[in-house]
Amino acid sequence: MAASGFLTAPFCIATVFVLYWSIALGCLVGRIRFWDFKGGRNDTHSWAIAMNAVLGVKYLKVGTNSLYKDGRCVYLCNHRSWADFFVDIYLTEGLAQPMARTMVYIAFPMFMTSVFFLKGVVLFKRGAIADKVKFNAWLDSKLTSSPAQNLLVYPEGHRSIQPKSLSLKRGMLYYAHSRGLPVQVIMARGKELILSEKKCRAGYGVHLPVAFSELVSSEGRTFDEFAAAVQSTWDKTWSTAYGVDLKGLRPLQQQDVPLHDYPVQTRYRQGAWCIVCIVGFAFALWLWYAALAWAISWLPSVLQVVGWVAVAAFFGLSVHASIIDNDAMNTKVA
C-alpha cells in the first residue's frame, strides 16, 4: 500500500532542500573539487554523482547503444521532474548544456549560478522566438564558448508524468538540422520516482532503466524527413525504456568521462561561489534547527525531549516510507 502524502511529505521537502543546496553538498563530500586550480575537472558531472549518492539513485543499461561522444550532438531527453536536472547531466557526462527557462534559475539560484559560471546551461525565456536566425546564432555562441559544446533538449516542452510521451516540439530540431548536427535520444524511466513536485513525493534508492538510441543524422535529409526519423527513434526508444523488465539489467557503466580545462577566471568564480553555498547551507541548517527548537520550547520542559524524539521518529518514518520498492514499480510499468 502506498504511504500517505502526510507521511512522505517530510522526505520530499528534505529532497528539495538537498537539491537546492546540492552544490554545497557536492563540495562537502569532496566530489566538486573547487580548490583544484590546475587539474582537469568536470564539475557538473561531479555534482550529479553527488546527488545520485545522496538519493541512492542507480542506473541500469537497456540495450547495447551508449552515449555518443565522438562529436557535437543534440541530446533529446524525456522531461519528468526536477530530478531531470542532475539525472540527465549525469547521463550526458557533463558534455551538454541543458536548455532551461529563466524561471528555473529563480527557483534554484544556488546550483544554477554554479552551472552558469561553468557555462553549463543555456537559459531562455519561454515564448515565440521573433528572429530565429538571430536566436540560432546566439545559441551557436553559447555552445562554442563552453567546454560543454553539445545541447540537451527536452522536446516535449514541459514536465509530464503521464505514461505516454507528449507531442514533440520542433524548434530545436530545426536548429540541429540547420547546423547539420546529429541527434541522440536518451530515455530514463522513473525520474519522477526520485522527486515528483507535482505529487509532492520523493523516493530513495530508485533504479532507472536507461535506453540510448542510435544516432539520427540530419545530413542528406530534408527537415521533414529528419523530423520523422527523430520521431520514430523517440517512439522506439520510449517503448524500449518503458517496456523493459528491470530484472537482468546490468548497471550502467561510465568510462573515460571527459575532464574540462576550465579557465582560471571560471575556477575562481566557481570556488568563491562554492564557499558562499557552503556558508549558506550551514546557515539554512541552523535556521531549521532554530525553528524546531523554538516550536518545541513551547512544550512543558518535561516533554521537550519527547518532542525532539517525536520529530526524529516522524522523519525516520518518512524516509522509510519513501524507500522505493523497485520490484513493485517494475511490475506496474512493465
pLDDT tens for each residue of 147-176 = 999 999 999 988 888 889 988 998 899 999
Read off the pLDDT of residues 41-54 as tens digits, 9 standing for 90 and up: 999 999 999 999 99
Output the DSSP codes for 35-78.
T-SSS-B-HHHHHHHHHHHHHT-EEEEESS-----SS--EEEE-
- Is pLDDT above 50 for 79? yes
pLDDT given at position 3: 58
The percentage of the chain sitting over the pLDDT mark of 70, rounded to a whole number, equals 96
Is the pLDDT at 126 greater than 50, yes or no?
yes
Q: What is the model's pLDDT at position 328?
A: 65
**Order of all β-strands in the sheet with 74-77:** 122-124, 96-101, 150-153, 74-77, 183-188, 207-212, 58-62, 250-251
pLDDT of residue 199: 87
**pLDDT over 80 at 144, yes or no:** yes
Reported as a pLDDT band with limits 50, 70 and 90, residue 329 is: low
pLDDT at 26 over 80: yes
How confident is the model at residue 332, as a pLDDT?
Answer: 43
d(CA 317, CA 286): 23
Q: Residue 330 above 90 pLDDT? A: no
**pLDDT value at 103 more than 50:** yes
pLDDT tens digits, one per residue of 243-259: 999 988 999 999 999 99
Its pTM stands at 0.93
Can you tell me the mean pLDDT for 75-84?
A: 95
Q: Which single residue is written with the C-alpha cell 547546423? A: 179
Predicted confidence band of residue 125 (pLDDT cuts 50, 70, 90)? confident
